[in-house]
Amino acid sequence: MNIIEMVFFHLYSVLQWYFRPFIKWFLRKTTKLCELQRICYGDRVGTQRTCNIENSLMLSRTKDVKEVVTFLDAVVKERRFIPSNFHQFLEPSINIIIRVKKINRKIHDAFIPSFRLCLQQIWCYRQLIEEVEDLRCTQFDSNNTSHEEKLLNLWDLMVPDKPLEARVSKDWQYIGFQGDDPKTDFRGMGLLGLENLLYFATEYPQVATHVLSHSRHPKYGYTYAIVGINLTSMAYYLLKDGSAKTYMFNSKPHLPDISLFHKFYCYLFYEFDKLWIASKPENIMEFSMIFKKFENAIRTELADPASVFRINVEVDTI
């Protein structure tokens, strides 16, 4: 079964490699539009359009298009693809593509803004991967005052009515860290785990408190911070393998950036909590099973380019 699938897949990619130019040529002649135009005019704005544009650019065998891709990738590597620089980097790129594809600016003035948005989304996403990786690789460091401040701030936001007894204290277990000192719990997710938890507590205080109270449930409780760090890991992988594009590209008017990543995380936390409580687990040992189930459900949703994600906060404020 597997071999047949593999053979079919190889056959398909070989055929695509040879026939794609012919199909594109044929469509170009009949519609008088290049592939980029057909996508921008035909596909729904958001994930569908942007992903197809990205695909088309990556498959392109035109030298100039390849150079544009390499150039923008280099900008991302230097972390310089930020809104204030968009004009400087994007206009020359768009001009090159318009020239190569022989697009008449006057007739197709609707194409340019649509195409520009796609380019912004594609390369913002790529830069976001780099930025998230930077945060993940930064280990939590007790000697760094800004790290320490963030950690203490997290406590104050989560448990505002009770001051922390001491920096190293059993209190931390109240918000679901493993022991007396959270510093060893961030591990492979580094500062990213802390930033995620902090953003959730800062931007959605009611939701975070609500979720924390669920985690304190005598029967269906779980370890809030540890589960949170595992969700950071899940968000990180979804971002890296491109699954999170659906979330990011459908989040108009936001472009993919670190706060959109945090929002994605908050969405995951809120949804996981709902699923956990609804599953009525026997104890924390069911975590890996429910977590896997949750990941599959999220992946299924992300696989549909029309999915739009939103935390349903109204329910909580009642």
Partner 1 sequence: MGLLSILKKLRSHPDKELRLLLLGLDNAGKTTLLRQLASEDVSHVTPTAGFNIKSVLSNGFKLNVWDIGGQRKIRPYWRNYFENTDILIYVVDCSDHVRLEETSQELAELLQDDKLRGVPLLVYANKQDLATALPASDVATHLGLHLIRDRTWQIQACVATDGTGVKVFYVYDNCMPNIMCDIKYSVFIIISLSEPTAE
Site residues, partner 1 (CB under 8 A): 136, 173, 178-179, 184-185, 187-189, 193, 222-223, 226-227, 229-230, 232-233, 236, 283-289, 291
Contact 175, 212 (CB under 8 A): yes
Name which of 182 and 305 has its Cβ closer to partner 1: 182
Name which of 80 and 187 has its Cβ closer to partner 1.
Answer: 187
Rounded Cα gap, residues 116 and 211, in angstroms: 39
As a dihedral over the C-alpha atoms of residue 271, residue 277, residue 278, residue 280, rounded to 10 degrees, the angle is 150
Shortest Cβ 288–partner 1 spacing (Å):
5
From residue 2, alpha-carbon distances to 10, 15, 16, 233, 296 in Å are 12, 20, 21, 30, 22
Q: Which is nearer to partner 1, 288 or 312 (by Cβ)? A: 288
Write down the least CB distance from residue 180 to partner 1, Å: 9
Q: How far is the CB of 237 from partner 1 (least distance, A)?
A: 8
Question: What is the end-to-end Cα distance of the chain in Å, rounded?
Answer: 53
Q: Would you mind telling me the total number of residues written for the chain in this entry? A: 318
Query: Is the Cβ of residue 131 or residue 316 nearer to partner 1 in the bound state?
Result: 131
Q: Is the dihedral of CA 146, 152, 156, 158 positive or negative?
A: positive
Closer to partner 1 at the Cβ: 21 or 179? 179
**Least separation, in Å, of the C-beta of 290 and partner 1?**
9
Q: To 5 degrees, how large is the angle CA 218–CA 219–CA 222?
A: 80
Minimum CB separation of residue 289 from partner 1 in Å reads: 8
> Distance (Å, rounded) from C-alpha 290 to C-alpha 307?
22
